Amino acid sequence: MRYSSMREAMEAGETLVFGHRGAMASAPMNTLASFQLAYEQGADGIELDVHFSKDQQLVVLHDFTVDATTTGQGAASDFTLADLKRLDAGSWFSPTFVGETIPTLDEVFDSVGDKLLMNIEIKSRFAESEALNRAVADCIGRHQMAERSLVSSFDPKLLKGFGVICPDVMMGYLHPPGRAVAWMNDVAHEARHPWHEEIDAAYMTWAAKAGYFVNAWTINDTERACALKRLGVNCLITDDPALIIAALESC
């Protein structure tokens, strides 16, 4: 790991590369295989998604359902962790990955927490957000990952709640094009995570004045990666870390 903390990395003046759900261009998203591959490709960190299972275990999965990336069907919150572990989360991508399972956040920290920085996106139905926030904060604490983690969400209320529970972990506000919530300006957070097409010189000037790091998603085009580097974007979140790292080294 090049940096011992998320803040150190963000303040280093380099353009970081984070693997979006790991190295999902080359491995099944949000699996230990994908996260390990992102590390092997040279990523500084990974972005991943966390939900509650039926028995309130922290599982790493993008969708609220298991249909798209496993051999199961239905809402993830309707499965216990034991049930989720019986599903194959790799064969949909390639026969090479048959037997990959949905990991827990504990397993991700155990596997690559000492190698990669972590951008943890919390996925919540609002009724469960306080319990989910506390579970994520507790997991980060158990693994001593507070300095190497950043929690992000599209849900401003969730972020506000997480900041109260766990003020020592950096937070990033994810927002789709044109839909940033103005009152987030009054919620303490360190980073903005816009869709990359939202970013131009004016956006970067605004973010600098407001004191925000800027972490862009999802960049898979090499020319765009170089343009964002020139603008001073702190981190590029990409499906293909190897491709974007090579591009940044040459521009």
20, 51, 143, 193: the active-site residue: 20
CA distance 110 to 133: 20
The CA radius of gyration of the chain, in Å to the nearest whole number, is 17
* CB distance 191 to 172 below 8 Å: yes
Tokens at 113, concatenated: 């927490």
Select from 189, 201, 205 the least CA-distant residue to 230: 201
* Single-letter code of the amino acid located at 237: I
C-alpha 102: how far from its chain's center? 16
Q: CA 103 to CA 83: how far, in whole Å? A: 12
* Whether 175 is catalytic: no
144's CB contacts (< 8 A; 6+ apart) are none
Catalytic residue among 51, 62, 143, 189: 62
Helices 32-40 and 105-112 meet at what angle, rounded to 10?
30
Preceding peptide of 70 cis, ω within 30°: no
User: Is residue 62 annotated as a catalytic residue, yes or no?
Assistant: yes
Query: At CA 38, angle to CA 135 and CA 112, rounded to 5?
Result: 45
Q: Would you name the residues annotated as active-site residues? A: 20, 62
